[in-house]
């Protein structure tokens, strides 16, 4: 049977399997398709319906348009006698219809020139799934083929395709275990008594395998099946567990980190009621009941908060204080010779000298399957001389990423940013006055380093607290030199206009921004 049109969770799962998109990338690309794409003379056109939905409902007009398209572009055998209507799940909010093309007047190939490669691939996936949902089912013969070879009997089980139906447009992606959704392995057509030639013989030994790790697709499916989250939160959940370093993606699979395992163990032990999957699902249901007016929000809050207060009190009294724990190692500090121990910080485990605070040496480390600890060196000598004192710079890893630090530290504290590609970035020396003037008071801007990298701060601080983000090159982000300047002058202040991207395509913006916010319509060269 053909699958229903996409809900948010299914779109994220299939985009992960077919396109290798993360849930975050899928939603960002779908958002752009929904908001509108410039289609030449037509202007901006929203290509899909709202992409955050848990419903498979389709508007009657859209069903008729899909049937007309199938009738005119495919053999009549592909069109069922009447429109296919899918049942909406009982827990679905059904606030929006399923994800589908907003109009059948824009086939993917016809508008490919206006879409980025990612936008085209996702739009084609949505288009094909929607049309396939209104086609006839595929006809398959469940088949067993017995093959006799000398005294051995080999058996192959699978299906033989008799009529492709909706599969001419769409088949669901492979599951994590490698088996197809919907139907099994396709077999070639063979006749009884037919002689088959041996192509290869490959002996295989198989062992019982543990359950596979979650991919983004299978984790979204698990969340949906357990009633955790909503269409608008699936991508955020997957992003959060990575941003907080509770898990990392390795070859498309989620692997829990030491920090993630520890946090989970502590929370499950001390807050078993809240960390129970059933609690999260029931809370989602309770929030729906509040929205529908079936229960009062204060009642729900009291039912949650009163027991939670007691759980919190007990956790404060009994929860294990991991920051005070130290695990001895056989490693010695290379600075003072004292033993190193394993401690916990907000970013996970690290090696620390037991001579703290007299020695503040710390190191990241890795640990193999046998428990052997390998310290990660945080510095590496380069052939780049320090522009201030002439000593060689060291490649270092700090809290906010890689940078070059002078080997003469602490006498020389000069640092240099490292660009995303690993090369030295031509960032300004910290504390050095730049040639950029403050747009608020006119004083020179000064290069500074903050927790998120370098930036320009006004030399008039604290009277003027203006700051400007910088690129890896050290230039102000969005500076005129990084914009596509035109020969068009602003009709308000006379400064050059620059080509800028906008929600509905390119436009001309004044380079005097934010002092001048004038914008003009963009006309491509030659038009």
Cis ω before 462 (30° cut-off from 0): yes
Catalytic residue among 34, 50, 356, 461: 50
Q: Phi and psi for 317 in degrees, rounded to 5?
A: -85, -35
Where does residue 378 rank: exposed (0-12), middle (13-18), buried (19+ CB within 10 A)?
Answer: middle
- Which residues sit opposite 44 in a β-bridge? 38
The three-state DSSP-derived secondary structure of 23-56 is: HHHHHHHHHHHHHCEECHHHCEECCECCCCCCCC
Look up residue 352 and give its two tokens.
């620390």
Q: Is-contact 147 154, C-beta < 8 A? A: yes
Q: Is-contact 326 341, C-beta < 8 A? A: yes
Residue 360 CA to residue 364 CA, distance in Å, equals: 13
Q: What number of other Cβ atoms are within 10 A of residue 216's Cβ?
A: 26
- Which residues sit opposite 37 in a β-bridge? 45
Residue 489 CA to residue 509 CA, distance in Å, equals: 10
Cis ω before 514 (30° cut-off from 0): yes
Look up residue 354 and give its two tokens.
């037991």
Dihedral (CA of 97, 53, 216, 243) sign: positive
Q: What number of other Cβ atoms are within 10 A of residue 445's Cβ?
A: 24
N-terminal to C-terminal alpha carbon distance within the chain: 50
234 as an active site residue: the answer is no
Query: How far is C-alpha 199 from the geometric centre of its chain's CA atoms?
Result: 43
Look up residue 423 and give its two tokens.
């090369």
- State the Rg of the chain over Cα: 31
- Which residues sit opposite 116 in a β-bridge? none
Residue 519 CA to residue 505 CA, distance in Å, equals: 13
Q: Is-contact 359 333, C-beta < 8 A? A: yes
Look up residue 197 and give its two tokens.
């030639």
Residue 70 CA to residue 64 CA, distance in Å, equals: 10
Annotated catalytic sites, by residue? 50
């Amino acid at each position: 049977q053909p699958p229903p049109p996409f809900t948010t969770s299914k779109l994220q799962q299939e985009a992960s399997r077919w396109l290798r998109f993360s849930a975050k990338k899928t939603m960002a690309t779908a958002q752009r398709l929904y908001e509108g794409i410039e289609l030449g003379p037509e202007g901006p056109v929203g290509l899909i319906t709202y992409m955050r939905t848990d419903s498979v409902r389709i508007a009657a007009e859209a069903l008729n348009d899909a049937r007309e398209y199938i009738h005119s572009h495919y053999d009549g055998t592909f069109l069922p006698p009447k429109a296919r209507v899918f049942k909406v799940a009982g827990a679905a909010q059904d606030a929006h219809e399923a994800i589908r093309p907003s109009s059948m007047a824009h086939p993917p190939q016809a508008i490919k020139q206006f879409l980025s490669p990612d936008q085209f691939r996702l739009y084609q996936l949505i288009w094909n799934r929607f049309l396939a949902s209104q086609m006839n089912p595929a006809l398959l013969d469940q088949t067993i083929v017995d093959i006799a070879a000398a005294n051995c009997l080999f058996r192959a089980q699978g299906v033989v395709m008799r009529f492709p139906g909706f599969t001419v447009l769409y088949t669901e992606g492979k599951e994590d275990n490698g088996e197809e959704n919907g139907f099994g392995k396709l077999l070639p057509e063979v006749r009884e008594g037919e002689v088959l030639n041996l192509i290869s013989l490959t002996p295989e030994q198989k062992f019982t395998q543990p359950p596979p790790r979650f991919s983004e697709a299978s984790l979204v499916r698990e969340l949906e099946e357990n009633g955790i989250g909503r269409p608008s939160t699936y991508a955020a959940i997957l992003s959060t567990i990575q941003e907080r370093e509770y898990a990392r993606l390795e070859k498309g699979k989620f692997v829990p980190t030491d920090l993630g395992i520890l946090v989970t163990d502590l929370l499950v032990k001390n807050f078993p009621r809240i960390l129970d999957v059933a609690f999260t699902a029931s809370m989602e249901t309770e929030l729906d009941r509040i929205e529908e007016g079936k229960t009062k929000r204060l009642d729900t809050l009291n039912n949650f908060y009163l027991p939670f207060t007691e759980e919190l009190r007990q956790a404060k009294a009994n929860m294990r204080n991991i920051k005070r724990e130290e695990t001895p190692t056989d490693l010695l500090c290379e600075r003072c010779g004292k033993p190193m121990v394993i401690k916990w910080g907000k970013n996970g485990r690290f090696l620390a000298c037991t001579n703290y605070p007299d020695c503040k040496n710390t190191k990241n480390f890795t640990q193999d399957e046998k428990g052997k600890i390998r310290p990660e060196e945080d510095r590496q000598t380069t052939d780049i001389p320090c522009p201030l004192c002439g000593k060689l710079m060291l490649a270092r890893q700090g809290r906010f990423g890689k940078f070059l630090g002078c080997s003469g530290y602490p006498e020389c504290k000069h640092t240099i940013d490292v660009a995303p590609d690993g090369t030295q970035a031509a960032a300004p020396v910290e504390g050095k006055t730049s040639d950029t003037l403050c747009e608020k008071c006119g004083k020179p801007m000064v290069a500074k380093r903050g927790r998120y990298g370098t930036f320009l701060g006004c030399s008039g601080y604290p009277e003027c607290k203006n700051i400007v983000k910088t690129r890896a090159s050290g230039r102000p982000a969005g500076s005129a030199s990084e914009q596509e300047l035109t020969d068009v002058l602003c009709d308000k202040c006379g400064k050059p206009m620059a080509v800028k991207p906008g929600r509905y395509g390119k436009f001309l913006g004044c380079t005097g921004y934010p002092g001048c916010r004038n914008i003009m319509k963009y006309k491509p060269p030659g038009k």
